[in-house]
Amino acid sequence: MNVRQLEVFKAVMETGTVTGAAERLLVSQPAVSKQLRRLEDELGFPVFERAGGRLVPTGEAHALYDQVERVYAGLDQLSRFSDDLRQARHGRLVVAALPILSTRWLPRVLARFLAERPEVAASVMTRRSMEVVEWVAAHQVDVGIALMGADRPGVAQEPLMQLEIVCAVPRGHRLAQRPVVWAADLHDESCIWLSSFDRSRIPIDRAIDEARVRPRRRVEAFMASVACAMVEEGVALALIDVVTARENLSERIVLRPFRPRVAFDITLLRPAHAPRSQLTDAFVSALKRHAVESRAGRAEAALFSPQRR
């Protein structure tokens, strides 16, 4: 018994005649009759009685038809499921990202992505960049977003965007009146500094060292959002990424471009040897589109219209 025989049987049951089945299937009447004979030979019993030039279904034919209907319903469901997989509308997505992007930037992308795919489930994990790299290498996540590059076997990487560092200043602070804050302006200035565990501090420290200035590091914060909260309370100013600064901006915080320009790369990570997934590919494309749309630092920095003093 093959699919073609079942297709012919189904057409005859639904049209009531060999002629009707042949017209539906766009084949000749002899071809339909031939497939019916082969089906009956394989089944070992007749499915139609020939009476007055018509085919009358037997009781066995009706029972068989019920099963064939279930098979075709299953094939239709399988076809729809295959379409969903092809168009990335079904499956589960696991993403790990560093804190500065996992609080609002990533949820914004994911919300839009999931709204178009009601059958897709997702897990979002917030980890430090080095942990994100390890999780990607261990195939524990489908996509990772981390700071800078990852020289790690088993991890495929590509640039996603750059984040520029800006200066978050309490409103009323003397530097809030400046169009631009330069590294030299921070000499002996009270500052909120990010933790040494935060890799975004590397280019910041380099810029401060090259300017040969010594800020007063009053507070060390383990998260840029915490640094923003301290700025809002008027404790001191902070050098933080533009995404976190923008998302935590309030009436008590003034953002100013920081010069010389400091920026760091955000990298997109995937398991190097994992099977490709339509769902993962679609989500990576969504991340890239959102990175372009938001311009993640460069467009925001342009709003400050920096000028050299």
Average pLDDT, 10 consecutive residues per value, the chain (309 residues): 78 81 84 83 81 76 81 71 56 90 90 90 90 90 84 87 93 93 94 84 90 92 90 94 89 94 92 85 93 61 40
| DSSP strand pairing (253-259 vs 181-182) | parallel
The 3-state DSSP class for residue 255 equals strand
List the beta strands (DSSP E) in the chain: 48-51, 54-57, 90-97, 119-126, 143-147, 155-170, 181-182, 190-194, 216-221, 237-241, 253-259, 263-271
Q: Are 167 and 143 contained in the same domain?
A: no
- 98 and 246 together in one domain: no
- Residue 31 covered by a domain: yes
pLDDT of residue 12: 81
Q: Please give the model's pTM, rounded to 2 decimal places.
A: 0.65
Q: How far is CA 308 from the centre of its chain?
A: 40
Q: In the prediction, which pLDDT does 308 show?
A: 37
Residues 95 and 40 sit within 8 Å (Cβ to Cβ): no
Last residue of a domain, one of 37, 54, 86: 86
Number of Cβ within 10 Å of residue 196's Cβ equals 11
User: Which tokens sit at 262?
Assistant: 């400091």
Residue 243: give its domain's CATH number: 3.40.190.290
Domain boundary among 65, 86, 107: 86
Shared domain for 114 and 252, answered yes or no, is no
CA distance 24 to 276: 40
The residue among 55, 86, 117 that closes a domain is 86
Backbone CA torsion sign across 184, 188, 189, 195:
positive
